[in-house]
Amino acid sequence: MEFSLDLNEEQRDLRDWVHGFAEQVVRPAAAEWDEREETPWPVIAEAAKIGLYDFEFLANLWADPSGLSMCIASEELFWGDAGIGLAIMGTSLAVAGIFGSGTPEQMAEWVPQCFGTKEDPKVAAFCSTEPEAGSDVGAMRTRAVYDQATDEWVLSGQKAYATNGGIAGVHVVTAVVDPELGSRGQAAFIVPPGSKGLHTARKLRKLGIRASHTADVFLDEVRVPGNCVLGGKDKLDERLARARSGQRSSGQASMRTFELSRPAVGAQALGIARAAYEYALEYAKTRVQFGKPIVENQAIAFALADMRLEIDAARLLVYRAAWMGRNNRPFTAGEGSMSKLKAGEVAVSVTEKAVQILGGAGYLREHPVERWYRDAKIYTIFEGTSEIQRLVIARAITGASLR
């Protein structure tokens, strides 16, 4: 088969469609919702109305055999705005959690509920991080205890930094079932809408991605039906039995979800970086100092060259990881982590350069580069910090048990 780096017609159509929505709907609303620090429900509703926010859209992205469609859509949407983009795409992390661990019956029942309907859209939340268990997933303290008398799981604990936490209909929550097994004793659970005992005390105020709702979630003896453990109780019991006997068991629930999502998260960072680069390039062409546009100064031109170089290099890593993940190729060198690490650090570097190129104007809210600069930083922190990504890569290439 002939090798090609060209997008196919369907991928180009997807790119142009999502870009049009980002340009016409998302960007004009970005500054307002960043300032308000509220979930942009009208924008989510508009996305749902045109089919950009529903299960069918997400399923079509995942169905692309090249693995690239999710990354293409993410980059274009986040080119519009990262906060609004995450408000729209944040639900997909919960969906990834259900796909990563759930049965076909659970997927059919719960994934559509994550999105609601076109007339009444909902959001979903994936709750894994805790106050004492961020990168160290093995330190998780949230407990899930099975009540055989009622065939219910009882969840108790606290989750931190949960996207859509508290305002979601469906919450996907990871919890410890057998503390003696560490991370191998964990499982993921569906907490259905309206479950008693799940609440949030306050919405967290953030440096960036302010249009995306983030909150701590508290679970006070939340009872969920026995069939709400993802994968089913029989499969969980079998996995725990293998772990107790010292046999190899399947991966930990949170990490499976993050592995599925890392290339798409890298693509989100690319969207921010590309937006900042394009804005800085146009500004440099029109800003005149010392009698000529500043783009004619070598220092500025070289900075722009480096920005474009790093964006294109990061995109190649993202696309490779997305293709490998979709085609079940093992990440033998930590390729998923490479993509997210590179794209996140490129986003921070490029947005910082964009602010610098604009000078004093770049520090003002009249220009969007200051917002993109704030938004970019989270991509070296959430879903695995840059340090954790380097650890994953180092373990993969050395085979050493590094800490």
pLDDT, tens digit, for every residue of 63-108?
A: 999 999 999 999 999 999 999 999 999 999 999 899 889 999 999 9
Which backbone phi and psi does 67 adopt, to 5 degrees? Answer: 80, 0
Report the candidate in 128, 126, 79, 129 with the shortest Cα–Cα distance to residue 375. 79
- How far apart are alpha carbons 106 and 40 in whole angstroms? 29
Structure tokens given for 350: 């490029």
List C-alpha distances in Å: 117 to 46, 53, 152, 299. 12, 9, 28, 51
Q: Which entry of 335, 345, 370, 383 is annotated as an active-site residue?
A: 383
Which backbone phi and psi does 359 adopt, to 5 degrees? Answer: 65, -135
- What pLDDT score does 252 carry? 52
- What pLDDT score does 373 carry? 98
Residue 51 or residue 138, greater confidence: 51
What average pLDDT does this structure show over 316-331? 94
- How far apart are alpha carbons 293 and 299 in whole angstroms? 12
Report pLDDT digits (tens) over 112-159.
Answer: 999 999 999 999 999 999 998 877 777 899 999 999 999 999 999 999
Residue carrying the six token digits 């964990």: 186
Task: Note whether 222 and 197 are within 8 A (CB).
Answer: yes
Report pLDDT digits (tens) over 267-301.
Answer: 999 999 999 999 999 999 999 999 999 999 999 99
- How far apart are alpha carbons 269 and 372 in whole angstroms? 10
What average pLDDT does this structure show over 320-339? 94
- What pLDDT score does 44 carry? 98
Report pLDDT digits (tens) over 370-401.
Answer: 999 999 999 999 989 999 999 999 999 999 98
Residue 384 CA neighbour count, 13 Å, CB half: 28
- What pLDDT score does 249 carry? 56
pLDDT beyond 70 at 248 = no
Share above pLDDT 90 across residues of the chain, in percent, rounded to a whole number: 89
pLDDT beyond 90 at 364 = yes
Q: How far apart are the first and last CA of the chain?
A: 43
The SS3 call for residue 105 is: helix
The dihedral region occupied by 297, where left means phi > 0, alpha psi between -120 and 50, and beta the remainder, is beta
Which backbone phi and psi does 162 adopt, to 5 degrees? Answer: -85, 120
Note if 76 is an active site residue: no
What average pLDDT does this structure show over 28-43? 98
pLDDT beyond 60 at 348 = yes
Task: Note whether 125 and 217 are within 8 A (CB).
Answer: yes
- What pLDDT score does 202 carry? 85
- What pLDDT score does 247 carry? 77
In the chain, count H helices and then E strands.
14, 9
- What pLDDT score does 217 carry? 97
What is the H or E stretch that residue 144 is in? strand 143-147
Task: Note whether 166 and 133 are within 8 A (CB).
Answer: no
Task: Note whether 91 and 84 are within 8 A (CB).
Answer: no
- What pLDDT score does 171 carry? 98
- What pLDDT score does 182 carry? 86
Task: Note whether 273 and 75 are within 8 A (CB).
Answer: no
Report the candidate in 306, 280, 276 with the shortest Cα–Cα distance to residue 295. 280
**Residue 402: pLDDT band by 50, 70, 90 thresholds?**
confident
SS (H, E, C) 17-56: HHHHHHHHHHHHHHHHHHHHCCCCHHHHHHHHHCCCCCHH
- What pLDDT score does 360 carry? 97
Residue 284 CA neighbour count, 13 Å, CB half: 23
What average pLDDT does this structure show over 352-370? 98
Strand-pair category, 124-127 with 170-176 = parallel
pLDDT beyond 70 at 359 = yes
- How far apart are alpha carbons 314 and 346 in whole angstroms? 7
- What pLDDT score does 303 carry? 98
Report the candidate in 371, 310, 391, 326 with the shortest Cα–Cα distance to residue 83. 371
Structure tokens given for 388: 């954790």
Task: Tell me the one-letter amino acid at 209.
Answer: I
Report pLDDT digits (tens) over 176-202.
Answer: 999 999 888 999 999 999 999 999 988
- What pLDDT score does 259 carry? 66
pLDDT beyond 60 at 253 = no
- How far apart are alpha carbons 270 and 168 in whole angstroms? 27
Q: List residues bridging with 189 in a β-sheet.
A: 173, 229
